[in-house]
Structure 1
Amino acid sequence: MSANLKYLSLGILVFQTTSLVLTMRYSRTLKEEGPRYLSSTAVVVAELLKIMACILLVYKDSKCSLRALNRILHDEILNKPMETLKLAIPSGIYTLQNNLLYVALSNLDAATYQWPSDSQELEKELSAGSQFVGLMAVLTACFSSGFAGVYFEKILKETKQSVWIRNIQLGFFGSIFGLMGVYIYDGELVSKNGFFQGYNRLTWIVVVLQALGGLVIAAVIKYADNILKGFATSLSIILSTLISYFWLQDFVPTSVFFLGAILVITATFLYGYDPKPAGNPTKA
């Protein structure tokens, strides 16, 4: 059962990450009348949706009993303040990472988001800002994601609390940090045009995909590990790059890209390969 959950969660993560990269990039570069939606508010809404989804899952696990749900939330979150506070560190890092992803995909095409291109013509066609800013955002997000992932995996596997309770704790701090970011960076725009300015159907798809990503990543870390999560993310980047080339036509792959793709696929295969133990040689 755990093996099935492991590979199912990995597959969903690949699909979710690929969809998120493409739709987020499209939503941040789509030219529309009126103000563009604020990425800081989208991060907060995604955290709130994640909390709601986890509460519903805990409610389902509690045999749809509101009394049992209330008792579990009270016992596992309010009565264990130190356990809850442990999630403040990865939560702050994940919130920073989510904001950085919006910055990266506002300044890079979907492929350069992970695989920088040497094409000068492509660089001239990029419609949204500086590649340097985008690449710095990606690098910072990668380093912060690695640390937060290992930290979160340690917490999940050393305690008996369910992954959904841990996600509620994570989302609680994420909402607080996210609202602080909204106030600091976009407070004036929010007071002028509202919290949901520029939101449309595509924006809500991005928000839902981001909320789903938080749940799937937690499941992958719980049932697999943080290294496989990294491989799944890398595979999704290769997939999004291929879609970017054949469908969006905003990326020209280079020899460096193909080399990196081969290395990622090979590493994924070798890490997941489980050779059968050699039997004892028969005696003559």
Structure 2
Amino acid sequence: MNVRRRLYKLASQLYRKSDPAVLNMVSSRLKYLSLWVLVFQTTFLVLTMRYSRTLRGDGPRYLASSAVVVAELMKIITCVLLIFKEHSYNVRALNSILRQEITHKPKETLKLAIPSGIYTLQNNLLYVALSNLDAATYQVTYQLKILTTALFSVSMLGRRLGVYQWLSLLILMAGVALVQWPSESLGAPEKELSEGSQFVGVVAVLVACCSSGFAGVYFEKILKETKQSVWVRNIQLGMFGLVFGLMGMFAYDGERVRVSGMFKGYNTITWTVVALQALGGLVIAAVIKYADNILKGFATSLSIILSTLISYFWLEDFEPTSVFFLGAVLVIVATFLYGYEDKPSPNPRG
């Protein structure tokens, strides 16, 4: 009798799991969960990175080049663990997948060297940008990656954009221009230095937007040409990213690394920044899988608003103006408008 009851209970559970209503409910929960995680990751990566680069404490500041290397290493380890989980924690299966897809396909693996090098440059540029820009200005300006991704998609993939998308790109450019509109200044030396630093930050963001757009479209093209999982591709990207990151670290900060080590200046905030940066590509992959463009636009807009509020009230390094507010609203509107039609796939690595 007990055996019969157990079988009935198991059958009921299996039926419920295969019920379309239950599957839709689970899918909906995963969709919104992935979006909220994206909001959290995007917002707090920017804020903690900005805080870590402006925090005045005892001892030297951590090396941005070192943080990029550690983030790449964490991404590789995370993706290996995810593949390990997908194959029921079978060590032989994991070893077979890695050897078959990476070691035995050197040409396919080498294709990832180009986007990986660009991503490494981009990640270093983001540290430069947030060392010179407040979080709110950075968040809004960095949305220009939508424009660069769209243009590279048209030129490299032959993709066509709709009327609403072209309109949204024009609104986006207008919004970013307003955000960067110079405010009234008294011409003090400190202000001039601040303006010089802001120029460096803006240039770093613009170059990062261009590199993000090209690398994202290039990566999308490679994904469509092969059937490898996104985790395998991220391992391949991470391997080259680790090599390029180490080369950059020893080229620009080699003396400091030899004297003090690559972890000099690391603290809890630094490790939080590194973990959030490593998490970024995986979160985007989840959003691509479970969410749509409209909801991703909502997440991006919410992240901009949260970054602005926290930058003003907590970091106290940002004074919003009416021109900035108008520009931010235009950028948010453009983000929503761009999602009303099919758009280029989001950058898998942020």
Q: Does residue 207 of structure 1 match 2:207?
A: no
The counterpart of 2:39, out of the listed 14, 32, 36, is: 14
Name the TM-score, length of structure 2 as normaliser: 0.70
Q: Does residue 25 of structure 1 match 2:92?
A: no
**Residue 38 of structure 1, CA deviation:** 0.3
SS in 1 for 2:136: coil
SS in 1 for 2:227: coil
Tell me the alpha carbon deviations over residues 256-275 of structure 1, each in whole angstroms, 9 at most, x when there is no partner: 3222222233233334458x
Tell me the alpha carbon deviations over residues 82-136 of structure 1, each in whole angstroms, 9 at most, x when there is no partner: 2211211111111101100111111222223234462538974988972221111
Q: Which has the higher helix share?
A: 2
- Identical aligned residues as a percent: 76
The counterpart of 2:263, out of the listed 182, 196, 213, is: 196
**Residue 222 of structure 1, CA deviation:** 5.6
Tell me the alpha carbon deviations over residues 47-79 of structure 1, each in whole angstroms, 9 at most, x when there is no partner: 000100000000000110000000000111111
Name the TM-score, length of structure 1 as normaliser: 0.85
**Residue 235 of structure 1, CA deviation:** 4.9
CA 1:214–1:182 in structure 2 vs 1: closer, same or farther (change >3 Å)? same
- Partner AA of 2:61 in structure 1: R
Q: Does the CA-based 8 Å contact 1:59-1:66 persist in structure 2? A: yes
Q: Distance in 1 between matches of 2:325 and 2:107?
A: 47
Q: Distance in 2 between matches of 1:6 and 1:204?
A: 28
- Partner AA of 1:83 in structure 2: E
CA 1:233–1:86 in structure 2 vs 1: closer, same or farther (change >3 Å)? farther
- Partner AA of 1:67 in structure 2: R
Q: Distance in 1 between matches of 2:122 and 2:297?
A: 15
CA 1:18–1:4 in structure 2 vs 1: closer, same or farther (change >3 Å)? same
260-269 vs 86-95, which moves further? 260-269
Q: Does the CA-based 8 Å contact 1:119-1:252 persist in structure 2? A: no
- Partner AA of 1:208 in structure 2: A
Structure of greater Rg: 2
Structure 2: stretches of 5+ with no match in the other structure: 1-23, 142-178, 342-350
54-63 vs 252-261, which moves further? 252-261
Q: Does residue 175 of structure 1 match 2:253?
A: no
CA 1:224–1:95 in structure 2 vs 1: closer, same or farther (change >3 Å)? farther
Partner of 1:102: 127
Q: Distance in 2 between matches of 1:229 and 1:87?
A: 26
- Partner AA of 1:88 in structure 2: A
Tell me the alpha carbon deviations over residues 215-254 of structure 1, each in whole angstroms, 9 at most, x when there is no partner: 2234445666899878855652343112212333321222
Structure 1: stretches of 5+ with no match in the other structure: 275-284
